Amino acid sequence: MGLFSLVTGWPGPSGFGSASTAEQVTDGVDAAHLTAIITGGASGIGAETARVFALRGAHVIIAARNMEAANNVKELLVKSNPKAHVDVLQLDLSSLKSVRAFADKFISMNLPLNILINNAGVMFCPYQLSEDGIEMQFATNHLGHFSLTNLLLEKMKETSRSTGIEGRIVNLSSIAHLHTYEEGILFDKLNDRRGYSDKKAYGQSKLANILHANELSRRLKEEGANITANSVHPGLIMTNLMRHSFLLMRILKVFTCIFWKNVPQGAATTCYVALHPTLKGVTGKYFLDCNEEKPSALAREETLAKKLWDFSENLVKSAK
């Protein structure tokens, strides 16, 4: 898309650009036949994604750690749209036990599952380990979503087979995937405190989001499953995600204000990739400003994606 398009909002080949909103990119879409899970739907672009999905008629499951905030979002959505069909389930992505409990609860509800939006995340955390003993940004942003996706994948396959409707999985990554450790993923030093960088650890987790979507896409295509998997960069948006670096980001925004989006614009690429009919069959791609973009060379490495998949599987197994 280029710097000019980013700054001006000039639309790309899709007809949309950085200035497009989630409502605009889903205009005319009827999602009344769809059920979607949105992680981190209690605030920021997750809440806006939930609002627009509900507006288009989808049955929305907000998966969130903060149940009070999630229920407040549900109340607001129903108040503004009495036809909104919204449920709330608790999910702490930093805990694999919580991920399993969420998946069990959802499956017990005997609902279809058409769309999974892996949106939740943490950013620039001080060094800490999850309850499973894994570096927190990697645990929350990647491993929790990796486990959740695998636990729900059979339900998505069943839904696509029985309905004939394409399933879609969207991983929220970031342009920050460009700024990671030299090796890309620190497989042997994931929990190394001495070499920890909150910025590079975040970039590592966002690189993992793209690699996960790419490898998942490859496996689903090989299997012939009617499900796509893609990753997106939502853009620079001031949300609760930046709570660990709020002052720094406020200062940065003063000097880079032309690059920042509001929340409706930030949710646009997610909603576009998840709902737009022109993306039927499009999989294993990375999107920015509602248009396909080329991620970093590391993000395109098939061997790295396969290695991350095996590494993640082993981490999940060891935590049981």
Which domains are assigned to the chain? 2-315 (3.40.50.720)
How would you class 247 by CB atoms within 10 Å of its CB: exposed for 0-12, middle for 13-18, buried for 19 or more? exposed
Which position among 127, 181, 196, 286 bears the catalytic label? 196
How far apart are alpha carbons 76 and 70 in whole angstroms?
Answer: 10
Per-residue pLDDT of the chain (320 residues; tens, 9 = 90+): 554 455 556 789 999 999 999 999 999 999 999 999 999 999 999 999 999 999 999 999 999 999 999 999 999 999 999 999 999 999 999 999 999 999 999 999 999 999 999 999 999 999 999 999 999 999 999 999 999 999 999 999 999 999 999 999 999 999 999 999 999 999 999 999 999 999 999 999 999 999 999 999 999 999 999 999 999 999 877 545 545 445 554 554 444 445 568 999 999 999 999 999 999 999 999 999 999 999 999 999 999 999 999 999 999 999 87
User: For residue 225, is it left (φ>0), alpha (ψ between -120 and 50) or beta?
Assistant: beta
Beta-bridge partners for 263:
none
- In this prediction, residue 11 carries a pLDDT of 87
Cα 30 from chain centroid?
A: 22
Angle at 221 between CA 301 and CA 31, to 5 degrees: 110
Angle at 172 between CA 168 and CA 178, to 5 degrees: 130
196 is catalytic: yes
How far apart are alpha carbons 139 and 307 in whole angstroms?
Answer: 17
How far are the Cα atoms of 3, 41, 64, 122 from residue 102, in angstroms, in the given order? 41, 14, 10, 19
Q: Nearest to residue 272, comparing CAs of 44, 35, 32, 52? A: 52
The overall longest dimension of the chain from CA atoms, in Å, is: 52
Tell me if 47 sits within 8 A of 70, measured CB to CB. no
- In this prediction, residue 9 carries a pLDDT of 61
How far apart are alpha carbons 223 and 103 in whole angstroms?
Answer: 23
